[in-house]
Structure 1
Amino acid sequence: MRWRRCPHPAIAYDGGMDGTRTAAAAGSADGSAPFGLYVHYPYCRVRCSYCDFPIAIARGEPPHRDYLAAVVAELDRRAPTFAGRRLVSVYFGGGTPSLWPPECIAQVVAAARARFGGAALREVTLEANPTDCTPERIAAWRAAGVDRLSIGVQSLDPGELATLGRDHRHGDGEAAVRTALAAGMPRVSADVILGTPGGRGPGVRRIAAIDPGHISVYELTIEPRTPLAAAVRRGALQPLSDDALAEAYERVHSVLTARGYEHYEVSSYARPGHRAVHNSLYWQGAEFLGVGAGAASFWRTPAGGVRETNPRSVVAYLRGKPPDRVELSAGDVERDRLWLGLRTADGVAGAPRALADRLVGAGLARVDGDRILPTLRGFLFADRVARWVVEG
């Protein structure tokens, strides 16, 4: 594939922080840097056909309280590492965190505020399944501290939803976005998948007509050891060609930018003031703390940085198995800053001259003062850009 959904940096495989150009986003080891908290809730009703995230299928009622206790205990253990830093975002991902009782979500938000302070907190996001987005539940999430919903619409086409193994109907996604907006949720993102084999497209034009503040358009990545990959191997499904996927990507770009959405990251479109604060931290190379099964963390050190990854198994996590740890050199951290930053319309400063010349020569970027900014072609070929950064 030419371009891919960026793996969620806080999941194991997953100044102003609204995408503004700020050196503070990159942070430093002096304790003053902003950071984001990612909370992984692993339980789902079903496993989607494309999913290779660390999840667990709930057989009956998930152990909500046990998992809450483990997450809060992990916050206690990890708090000293992030002492003095400014917590600017909390993101509940999964899994299906909209299955977690709102009172559990409220307790995690309160625990984070108690340990890191809440003065700088600008966004609390909850990923939600469309069928969970009732007015009553949305009100409970707001009371718990959530001010942004990321709704997994995925597609408005019933055939695509069936291929993806989703457990909601084609009308549920539209209804969920409308309900969230009508209920007064301050920030709403509709998340869709592009490139489902045999489909007619996710229905981006219809979603944009509802006017959520944010739309994420992720390429379908067919991961090994998923039911979707097995269907492709059997010949039951034919993935889109690179050319067809590129055409679909460019159509989405045209539709959304014509409606006033800013294409600010490879997969992300926003109305003014609605860029994702939490995801912008990742793209700007900032630090993040990940708690929960399969969650990853990154923080800077004088030598470079550290990345820790919790066990993917929920059972192992609840039993207290320690995370895997990788020491990163300064070069590793800088390469990550470059390739992640080049996924955004704001680009990066300080890129090596040879890399900048190569990207500009290939039509993947342009120069704007001291910054290198990706072109639409650079977004389309984001995998190539990342590879060139890593190769040096």
Structure 2
Amino acid sequence: MSTTSAAQLRAEAPALDLDCEHLFTGEEIAWRDKVRAFAQERIVPVADADFEDRHFRRELVGELGRLGVLGMHLEGYGCAGAGAVSYGLACLELEAADSAWRTFVSVQGSLAMSAISMWGSEEQKQRWLPDLAAGRAVGCFALTEPDGGSDPKSMRTVARRDGGDWVLDGAKRWIGLGSVADVAAVWAATDEGVRGFLVSTDTHGFTATDITNKLSLRASVQCDVLLDGCRLPGDAVLPGATGLRGPFSCLNEARYGIVWGVLGAARACLRAAVERSRERRVFGRTLAELQLTQGKVADMAVEYQKGLLLAAHIGRLKEAGTLAPAQISVGKLNNVREALAIARTARTILGADGVTSDFPVMRHMANLESVRTYEGTDEIHALVIGQAVTGYRAFA
């Protein structure tokens, strides 16, 4: 990897930074700059081609493991034990390159690894976490079903006891990394409530089929998963989790990363628009000199900075152990919504060229539509916030 100075890396940020550097520690800045350099060198040059070709670049998995970002917020078992803000900044830099790779890190670390770390047995942790942290293995998280993405308590996937074993039957959809994973954290209804199971993906009856007609997250892998009489040993169950508290705790970890990650996509779109506005001349002036353009740039810059301050605040609450789920919903709802607005506004500054791969804006915009949907839609997060504010629950 080429050496890039911190000054050069900071120079790549939008001009309006509100002097946010002092909000972060030296360790957090070091993580940010290390991940930024990796993303700029290893992901950005191939992002457009991989999006076009629907290509998941498997060789980057081990490189991300060596970088230390897989499960970086977890302690022990080969994980970096980094703080919440360090992890957030890493997500931001990865998504500035392409949402597919922040999604990968989220699925691997915040979903699959967090499920094992929070709810697994010591034997399960020893078996899987070191390999997942190093990128020697890939994990997935199978909760969403074809008929109930936002309603997991109605899941139809079931697990029944058969002697000392468990047998799983059902279907899951939109499962990130399903066809490239070595282990799946599968959530199923049992007589005891919802339970989590670690399923080796070579288990008979486990089939993952890539969803290939996506117009978003095309450099990522999402799958339909069929569980047809998957027989598991009794110790495949995650012993610490019964009920929806188990999967929801993991979803909150992933939602936290999104609060930061989408700001990277927003920053990339803002930067592309500003740079182009300085170069393109119309009516004898650069676009950047026009009042309407400056109004758009100002609005984008303000929302980007507000989002960054919100993410930093949420990160500090998480590190203090006082972060509530509704506060994560505020961050996810606001920052995804504003990142999409920034992408759309940036496209207008780029004109017709904005719909081409000469600029990353349409790729980011398309990817953000997926991010807006997964880990809780706008509507779900609005209802979570509404309940926290009013004291009334408006959904079942």
Normalised by the length of structure 1, the TM-score is: 0.27
The answer to which structure has the higher strand fraction is 1
Of Structure 1 and Structure 2, the greater helix share is in 2
Q: Which has the higher contact order (CA 8 A, sep 6+)?
A: 1
